[in-house]
Structure 1
Amino acid sequence: MVEGYSNIIVMRYSDLFVHMVVKHRDIPRSIVSYRDKIFTSTFRSHIFKLQGTSLNMSSAYHSQSDGQSEALNKCLELYLRCYVFDRSKAWVTFLPWAEFWYNSAFQTSIGVTPFKVVYGRDPPSFITHSFSDLTHAQARMKKYAD
């Protein structure tokens, strides 16, 4: 048993991990943890070993051990700051949009967007949906300016 957690909670966590991560993305080759006791427990270490997954440790608030995580965290923080500037208590409502932003951003490591990898097509563009509205607005502005 993990210190501070019951077996039921640890098993529920494992179920959620499989449901939220493994089901959609397969078993990860490595996971970066900030030394949380759930991940460092003998139980989890054994599960990782059985799955062929390695556990890479990092320090809390010190993601330099994984440059990819550090870069993503900086981008995500900047994204959320832009949208949550005057609504700091509502940051959680912007997480789905942040996820969409990340999944529709071109990744040089894979040469396409994560969205295209998963769905086989480019992500929908909100710009093309509103392009005709912008064109009409520009025409009205030109009419009033002339």
Structure 2
Amino acid sequence: MENLTADHLSRLENPHKDVFENKDINKKFPLETLGKISSGSTPWFSDFANFHAENFIIKGMSSQQKKKFFKDVKHYFWDDPYLFRICSDQIIRRCVYGQEAYDILRACLEGPTGGHHGANFTAKKGIDFMGPFLSSRENMYILVAVDYLSKWVEAKALSTNDARVVVKFLKSLFAQFGTPRAIISERRTHFCNDKFAKVMSTYGVTHRLATAYHPQTSGQVEVLNRGLKHILERTIGENRTSWSEKLKDALWAFKTAYKTPIGCTPYKLVYEKSCHLPIELEHKAYWALKHVNFDLKTTGDH
């Protein structure tokens, strides 16, 4: 069936032929103001600041605008000379704008880790080498890192103790737990070199050196080294050359052991939950009794 209407319309003369110009499609969006951050001199929070500082309300607002204004303004407060906002997560944040806002964003996002630091329990770490030991799968050293608050331990068996393996270990540590604020080490060549300093600078981490006059700065690492060595000795038994294979088992035992200074295990402090073994998950009733400090042997006999 022929479409007579369409054929007829196609034959009509276009009265606007000379009115509209033929233009090519512009792939670039011409309206640059959309999506653009305002660069004006007036802060975005000026109305809220004027209200809290001078009890001044902007004129000309509609009833709906006033309703929204008073709903939003209650989340702000003035502490001369700054305006602060009480956010939904109950954290108080200072209101910023202009160049200061750009500087903050740049500082947070331009680093290799995006400025997303770990939680407070990863704020300070100690690092040290153990060894040399008997060769185990060509490994003779253990590089140990301990968190000063949570007592969390990371360790790796290595064949050498040079700057290259230290840098590689730190990058792996940062990728897993985030960048700490400071790393404490002794004054040894594998920690005091250009490669180590470059990594510290790149990730924004402060390098602090332990001194003989202040043994507390590296004391936790020394205590941990002794504890880890003791666990390894009991794990490997008479086969002294198998220590590199048993290192992960020793680390697991250390992380899940109760620590008196923190009142729990490092595992629970880091992951905010207890580490249950499969047998404990299988026998839930038995675990419940253990949790409330029942005498398990006496309870089992009954």
TM interval, shorter chain, is: 0.5 to 0.7
How far is the alpha carbon of 1:74 from its aligned partner?
0.9
- Please give the alpha-carbon distance, in whole angstroms, between the structure 2 residues aligned to 1:113 and 1:68: 16
Deviation digits for residues 4-50 of structure 1, max 9, x if unmatched?
xxxxx94x86455222x11222223123245134x211342244245
How far is the alpha carbon of 1:122 from its aligned partner?
0.5
* Map of 1:52 onto structure 2: 205
* Map of 1:40 onto structure 2: 192
| 1:85 has 2:237 as partner | yes
How far is the alpha carbon of 1:104 from its aligned partner?
0.9
Q: Hey, which of these two has a bigger chunk of strand by percent?
A: 2
- Please give the alpha-carbon distance, in whole angstroms, between the structure 2 residues aligned to 1:87 and 1:32: 31
- Structure 2 unaligned regions, length at least 5: 1-162, 287-296
* Map of 1:143 onto structure 2: none
Aligned-residue identity in percent: 21
Contact 1:32-1:66 within 8 A present in 2 as well: yes
SS in 2 for 1:40: coil
| 1:105 has 2:257 as partner | yes
Deviation digits for residues 94-116 of structure 1, max 9, x if unmatched?
11111111111233444332212
1:32 is matched by which residue type in structure 2?
Answer: S
How far is the alpha carbon of 1:71 from its aligned partner?
0.8
- Please give the alpha-carbon distance, in whole angstroms, between the structure 1 residues aligned to 2:273 and 2:219: 28
SS in 2 for 1:96: helix
Q: Supply the RMSD in Å over aligned alpha carbons.
A: 3.5
Q: Hey, which of these two has a bigger chunk of helix by percent?
A: 1
Normalised TM-score (structure 1) = 0.62
Normalised TM-score (structure 2) = 0.33
- Structure 1 unaligned regions, length at least 5: 1-8, 140-146
Contact 1:83-1:94 within 8 A present in 2 as well: yes
Mark the structure with the bigger radius of gyration.
2
- Please give the alpha-carbon distance, in whole angstroms, between the structure 2 residues aligned to 1:127 and 1:71: 31
Contact 1:104-1:113 within 8 A present in 2 as well: yes
Moved over 6 A (4+): 129-132
1:83 is matched by which residue type in structure 2?
Answer: T
Deviation digits for residues 42-72 of structure 1, max 9, x if unmatched?
342244245131232579xxx8861101111
2:207 is matched by which residue type in structure 1?
Answer: S
Contact 2:167-2:199 within 8 A present in 1 as well: no
Check 1:81–1:124 CA distance in 2 against 1; reply closer, same or farther (3 A cut).
same
| Count of paired positions | 121
